[in-house]
Amino acid sequence: MDIIYFLTANSKLFPNHYGIILHMHVVSIDQFTPKDLFDLFERTKKIEDTFYSKGGMLELAKKHRDKQICTLFYEPSTRTRLSFETAGYKLGFGVVSTESAGEFSSASKGETIEDTIRVLDEYKFSAIIIRHPETGIVGRAAKVAKTPIINAGDGKGEHPTQSLLDTYTIFFNFKRLDNLTITIGGDLKHGRTARSLAKIMAKFDNNHIKFVSTKSLAVDQDIKDFLKENNTTYEEITDIEQGVADSDVIYWTRLQKERLEEHEKGLAGGFIISKDTLKFMKKDAIIMHPLPRVDEISTDVDSDSRVRYFDQAGNGLFVRMALLDQLASK
């Protein structure tokens, strides 16, 4: 794919081809074309610029003040839930929130996700954001929903909005999403963010992916097959120093203890990025992490100029504002 760049009025680079997210629901990163991504990135940048301009917060808060969104979370969340809810408030939406929905909703009585969604449809929300421990269940919800459904993470399946903010972070560091070497490390067997990032980067030319993990936590075959089908090269590495060397992006993940099968409970955690690891990285590389972090990146790494994981989390607010704005404006 040839990408032509032009300089916008605010001196930021965007590829000169935009598309529209044609899908009512956001269930998988597979739905997004490169055109969709750049359209969303442009909307994100405009919202961010407006937010920081004089009177911008008040202007944004008027956009959707007669509309409501619902966050339906069956799993714990800090960044995803709070950034979606904050994004809603800052755009003027009313926000109806259900935390620990598996325990404090009718799901605890045996209600199916399909029936829950059919009921919520009657409340005329502009969007329903769902996180659930079961892989594929958000797709089931979308099949019966009349309201836009957003997947905020389904088991070990996907986390599409995380990969949107991840690629937004990468784009604004390198001004491109092609011709990059991306290291994805840690628990690749259970980590949905790693899966989504690998899939989205396969949409762009000449990217190379280095999967770094123990053999017991290696990436699933379906992701490797997806990369092959999309002509994206990859390698699997068990040495952390080799894994981070010569990479533009180092994307690290934690051990997903909540998703381990009983026989996996004794597995060692992902490799640890320490201050010593930094010397093997390129000077212009960036270090990313979807968070939460446990111990897989030492806290003494935080002061390194290549660290982006807190900026990355901050980008989540504006990307999710743009996504809600786009879905609710249809």
**Residues forming the active site:** 79-80, 109, 131, 159
Paired tokens of 201: 């980067």
Contact 294, 256 (CB under 8 A): no
Contact 208, 243 (CB under 8 A): no
CB-based burial label for 109 (10 Å; 0-12, 13-18, 19+): exposed
CA contacts within 13 A on the Cβ side of 284: 5
CA distance to 169, 217, 221, 278, per residue, from 254 (Å) = 19, 11, 20, 18
Tell me the Ramachandran region of residue 153: left when phi exceeds 0, alpha when psi lies from -120 to 50, beta otherwise.
left
